[in-house]
Amino acid sequence: MKSSRAFKILSIVMLAAVVLYFGVQIYQYLANPFATTLTYEAEAEDSISVTGWVVRDEETFHADTPTLTHPLAEGQRVGMGQTFAMAYDDSQTLSTVARIEDLELQLQQLEFALTSILDEDAALKLDSTITGSIVTLRQNLAGGDYAGVSGDVSSLKASVLKSSHTYTSVDQITAEIDSVQSQIAQLQGSLTGAHPICAPKPGIFSAVCDGYETVLTPAALDGLTPSALQRLAPKKSDGNAGKLIYGDTWYFVTSMDAKRAAELKTGQAMTLRLAKGMAQDVTVRVRSVGAEEKGQAVVVLQCQNYLPQATLLRQQAAELVLRTYQGLRVPTTSMRLNEDGTAGVYCVVGVSARFKPVQILFRGDTFMLVRPAEDAAGTNILRVGDEVIITANKLENGLVVR
């Protein structure tokens, strides 16, 4: 009974001690709200979120027959006179072509099997190729780069098929190679009704036509208004044979707040970060800034890189990164003015506060990026790891804070 009473008294004393401790801490904070943080290097971007359209110089092609094949991959470059599509008179001819492609793949498999018998390292190299193809395919799918996915799948399929069979002798493999080559030659000799569609001039091949090829053209960008951009609609496309994209330049056109658009200058470089379809950031330049219309203005950006990766892109959400800032990150509440009106922060040096003048590079919602003022010297230079005072009742140079 006595031990139970003693335990209750001890519990009350401990509870009172805890309450007293927190009470003292709260009082000290209210009486002198002193808090600090450490500086560190950081990066911030001045960016604008937009939705725009990808524009290319494109020409669509039509074939009277619906039976078509495309021997080229999406985004592959085409030379003048090169075949980029094949039209067939009937489905039987197309079936023959598909059979020839299967036999050619089988021939590659047999030739690799022959190489594997003669070279023991060939199988190890193939395993490495398969692993690399899987990694590349996964990266393209994750990054939304669907233009290269078809080629990745074909490459992976061919590599897997090469490793799917084993043979016992060179003579067996050689005999099968002769048989497959004979079948291919026989089928090719029976082919009729195949009509190649050739490129009239060099370009980049794309199998997909969306109806905007004659609506969104480089020439149509001149004088384009925000209202006209909003009314854009595709036309019916008869480009069943695909299209060719000419030149090396593509454009991104968007409508944005006129005040932000007025900050841009023709020829100014910036970074375009597309939401999907292209994994990497793209450097673009301002081609033109249109006149204001109801608080909006059309901005046209142009790029001379990555056109083969942009063949399937049309309407895109994006970030326009106008500038990137690097500096020391400090809380906005730590910024103060000294007696001379100089901006800076107070840091704990030893047991006292010291004012360190800074130049403000970027203002965020709750932080700033700064660098030491040009006239700062010695211990007045703000450095990485300095303990910046965020809140305090009173601050002045040399004031003891600890």
Q: What angle do CA 207, 213, 217 make, to 5 degrees?
A: 135
Task: Tokens 């990026």: give the residue.
Answer: 369
Location of structure tokens 């980049």: 204
The DSSP result for 191-216, as a single string, is --SEEEEE-SS-EEEES---S-TTTS
Q: Note the pLDDT tens digit of each residue in 30-86.
A: 555 788 999 999 999 999 999 999 999 999 999 887 778 888 889 999 999 999 998
Which candidate, 244, 215, 217, 236, places its Cα nearest to that of 311? 244
- Check if the beta carbon of residue 205 is closer than 8 Å to that of residue 43: no
Domain spans, the chain? 1-31, 35-44+326-391, 48-59+201-325, 90-192
For residues 290 and 321, the answer to whether their CB atoms sit within 8 Å is no
Cα 35 to Cα 53, 129, 345: the distances in Å are: 49, 57, 13
Are 204 and 99 contacting, i.e. CB atoms less than 8 angstroms apart? no
Give the model's pLDDT for residue 27.
Answer: 53
- In CATH terms, the fold of domain 35-44+326-391 is 2.40.420
Residue 181 has pLDDT above 80, yes or no: yes
Given a contact cutoff of 8 angstroms between Cβ atoms, the answer to whether 252 and 50 are in contact is no
CATH T-level fold of 48-59+201-325: Elongation Factor Tu (Ef-tu); domain 3 (2.40.30)
- Find the mean pLDDT for residues 150-170: 57
327 SS3 class: strand
What's the pLDDT score for residue 135?
Answer: 67
Q: What is the largest CA-CA distance in the chain?
A: 110
For the record, the structure tokens of 391 come out as: 């809140």
pLDDT tens digits for 323-353? Answer: 999 999 999 999 998 888 899 999 999 989 9
Instruction: Give me the chain's average pLDDT, please.
Output: 84
In the predicted structure, residue 161 carries a pLDDT above the cut 60 = no
Please classify residue 195 by burial: count the beta carbons closer than 10 Å to its beta carbon, then call 0-12 exposed, 13-18 middle and 19+ buried. middle
pLDDT at residue 289 is higher than 90: yes
DSSP state of 89: S
pLDDT at 343: 94
How confident is the model over 5-28, as pLDDT tens digits? 666 777 776 777 666 666 655 555
- Residue 117 phi, psi (nearest 5): -70, -35
Average pLDDT over residues 209-224: 94
Q: Where are the beta strands (DSSP E) in 40-182?
A: 40-60, 68-69, 77-78, 83-88
* Cα distance between residue 129 and residue 109, in whole Å: 14
Instruction: Identify the pLDDT of residue 66.
Output: 72
345-368: average pLDDT: 93
What is the spatial distance between Cα 381 and Cα 344, in angstroms, rounded to a whole number? 10
CA distance 30 to 26: 6
Position 311 scores a pLDDT of 94
pLDDT at 193: 74
Q: How does DSSP assign 269-303, residue by residue?
A: EEEEEESSS--S-EEEEEEEE---BTTEEEEEEEE
Distances (CA, A) of 237 to 131, 211, 214: 40, 5, 9
